[in-house]
Amino acid sequence: MTTLLSSTAPVPHTLAVPRARVALVALWITQVAVAGMFVFVGSLKLTGAPELVALFDAIGVGQWFRYVTGSIEVVSGLALLLPSLAPFGPLLLVPTMVGAIITHLFIVGGSAVPATVLLIGLLAIVWARRDQLVRAVSRLA
Is pLDDT of 10 > 90? no
Residue 72: Cβ within 10 Å count: 18
pLDDT value at residue 25: 93
Residue 8 has pLDDT above 80, yes or no: no
For the entire predicted model, the pTM comes to 0.83
C-alpha span between 8 and 67 (Å, rounded): 69
* pLDDT the model gives residue 122: 97
> What does the pLDDT read at residue 6?
57
Mean pLDDT, residues 93-117: 95
pLDDT at site 19 = 85
The whole-angstrom separation of Cα 22 and Cα 27 is 9
